[in-house]
Amino acid sequence: MSPAPLYRQIADAVRMDISTGRLPPGSKLPSERELIDRFGAARGTVRAGLNVLITEGLITPAQGRGYQVQQHEVFTLDASRHENLLFSRPEDGDSFNNDVTQVGRTSSQELRVEVTEASAEAATRLEIPIGDRVVLRYCRYFVDETPWSIQATQYPWWLVNAHPRLADPVDVREGTTRYLADRGVKQVDFHDEWSTRMPTPDEARELQIGPGVPILVWVRTGYSPASQPLRRTVTVLRGDLSRVTYDIGDRKSSPHREAEGQ
Amino acid sequence: MSPAPLYRQIADAVRMDISTGRLPPGSKLPSERELIDRFGAARGTVRAGLNVLITEGLITPAQGRGYQVQQHEVFTLDASRHENLLFSRPEDGDSFNNDVTQVGRTSSQELRVEVTEASAEAATRLEIPIGDRVVLRYCRYFVDETPWSIQATQYPWWLVNAHPRLADPVDVREGTTRYLADRGVKQVDFHDEWSTRMPTPDEARELQIGPGVPILVWVRTGYSPASQPLRRTVTVLRGDLSRVTYDIGDRKSSPHREAEGQ
DNA sequence: AAGTGGTCTAGACCACGTA
DNA sequence: ACGTGGTCTAGACCACTTC
Q: Are residues A153 and A240 in the same domain?
A: yes
Chain pair A-B, CB pairs under 8 angstroms: 152
Strands, E assignment, chain A? 59-62, 66-69, 75-78, 107-117, 133-143, 146-156, 189-197, 215-223, 229-238, 242-248
Total count of domains within chain A: 2
Smallest Cα distance from A44 to chain B, Å: 10
pLDDT for the residue A1: 61
Residue A84 falls within a domain, yes or no?
yes
- Of residues B172 and B36, which shows the higher confidence score? B36
Which 222-241 residues of chain B touch chain A by CB within 8 A?
A: 223, 227, 239-240
- B88 band by pLDDT with thresholds 50, 70 and 90: low
Q: Are residues B142 and B217 in the same domain?
A: yes
Q: Are residues B43 and B156 in the same domain?
A: no
How large is the angle between the packed helices B43-55 and B6-19, nearest 10 degrees? 50
Which of A225-229, B37-41, B84-88, B211-215 has the weakest average pLDDT? B84-88
pLDDT for the residue A95: 76
Strand D CB shell (< 7 Å)? A 5-8, 40-45, 48, 62-65; B 2, 29, 31-34, 43-44, 47, 61-67
CATH number at residue A64: 1.10.10.10
SS3 category, A162: helix
- Of residues A97 and A261, which shows the higher confidence score? A97
Mean of pLDDT values over A156-185: 87
pLDDT for the residue B205: 92
pLDDT for the residue B77: 93
State the residue range of the domain holding B212: 75-245
Any chain B CB within 8 A of the CB of A256?
yes
- Computed over every residue of chain A, the mean pLDDT equals 88
State chain B's maximal CA–CA distance in angstroms.
71
Mean of pLDDT values over B186-194: 92
Any chain A CB within 8 A of the CB of B61?
no
pLDDT tens per residue across span A31-73: 999 999 999 999 999 999 999 999 999 999 999 999 999 998 8
First-last CA distance in chain B: 31
Of A198, A223, A261, nearest to B56 by CB-CB distance is A198
Q: Are residues B46 and B100 in the same domain?
A: no
Q: Are residues A38 and A81 in the same domain?
A: no
- Of residues B80 and A203, which shows the higher confidence score? A203
Chain B residues with CB under 8 Å of A2 CB are: none
Q: Which of A69, A92, A120 is the last residue of a domain?
A: A69
Residue B261 falls within a domain, yes or no?
no
Q: What secondary structure, in 3-state letters, does B81-145 show?
A: CCCCHHHCCHHHCCHHHHHHHHCCCCEEEEEEEEEEECCHHHHHHHCCCCCCEEEEEEEEEEECC
A207 Cβ contact partners less than 8 Å away, ≥ 6 residues apart: A147, A148, A149, A150, A199, A215, A236, A238
Which 74-103 residues of chain A touch chain B by CB within 8 A?
A: 74, 79-80, 84
Chain A residues with CB under 8 Å of B227 CB are: 251, 255
Smallest Cα distance from B112 to chain A, Å: 24
pLDDT tens per residue across span B123-159: 999 999 988 999 999 999 998 888 999 999 999 999 9
Q: Supply the DSSP string of A209-235, one letter for each residue.
A: --TT--EEEEEEEEE-TT--EEEEEEE
Q: Are residues A112 and A237 in the same domain?
A: yes
Q: Which of B69, B99, B115 is the last residue of a domain?
A: B69
Mean of pLDDT values over A14-37: 96
Q: Are residues B102 and B166 in the same domain?
A: yes
Residue A150 falls within a domain, yes or no?
yes
Name beta bridge partners: A164.
Answer: none
pLDDT for the residue B92: 57
With a cut of 70, say whether residue B31 has pLDDT above it. yes
Preferred mutation among B246, B253, B258 to probe A, highest tally of A CBs within 10 A: B246
Asked if B13 CB < 7 A from strand C, the reply is: no
pLDDT for the residue B98: 80
Residue B146 falls within a domain, yes or no?
yes
pLDDT tens per residue across span B232-259: 999 999 999 999 999 988 655 444 434 3
- B89 band by pLDDT with thresholds 50, 70 and 90: low
With a cut of 80, say whether residue A174 has pLDDT above it. no
Name beta bridge partners: B196.
Answer: B216
Output phi, psi for A241, to 5 deg. Answer: -115, 5
Residue B257 falls within a domain, yes or no?
no
pLDDT for the residue A83: 74
CATH number at residue A91: 3.40.1410.10
Of A191, A243, A260, nearest to B254 by CB-CB distance is A191
Residue A197 falls within a domain, yes or no?
yes
Preferred mutation among A121, A197, A203 to probe B, highest tally of B CBs within 10 A: A197
Q: Are residues A115 and A60 in the same domain?
A: no
Chain B residues with CB under 8 Å of A247 CB are: 189-192
The number of CA neighbours under 13 Å toward the Cβ of B144 is 8
Q: Are residues B206 and B128 in the same domain?
A: yes
B55 Cβ contact partners less than 8 Å away, ≥ 6 residues apart: A55, A198, A211, A212, B211, B212
Of B193, B214, B219, nearest to A214 by CB-CB distance is B214
With a cut of 80, say whether residue A209 has pLDDT above it. yes
A58 in Cβ contact with A51 (< 8 Å): no
Strands, E assignment, chain B? 59-62, 66-69, 75-78, 107-117, 133-143, 146-156, 189-197, 215-223, 229-238, 242-248
With a cut of 90, say whether residue A201 has pLDDT above it. yes
CA of residue A24 to C1' of nucleotide C11, angstroms: 39
pLDDT tens per residue across span A217-255: 999 999 999 999 999 999 999 999 999 999 988 655 444
Q: Are residues B99 and B193 in the same domain?
A: yes
Asked if A210 CB < 7 A from strand C, the reply is: no
Q: Which of A69, A95, A113 is the last residue of a domain?
A: A69
**Among all strands, which nt has the closest C1' to B63 (CA)?**
D5
With a cut of 70, say whether residue B224 has pLDDT above it. yes
B93 Cβ contact partners less than 8 Å away, ≥ 6 residues apart: B173, B174, B175, B178
Q: Are residues A105 and A46 in the same domain?
A: no
Chain B residues with CB under 8 Å of A195 CB are: 74, 239, 242-244, 262
Q: Are residues B25 and B132 in the same domain?
A: no
A155 in Cβ contact with A231 (< 8 Å): yes
Any chain A CB within 8 A of the CB of B9?
no
Which of A65-69, A89-93, B190-194 has the weakest average pLDDT? A89-93
Residue B177 falls within a domain, yes or no?
yes
With a cut of 90, say whether residue A152 has pLDDT above it. yes
Residue A253 falls within a domain, yes or no?
no
B190 in Cβ contact with B221 (< 8 Å): yes
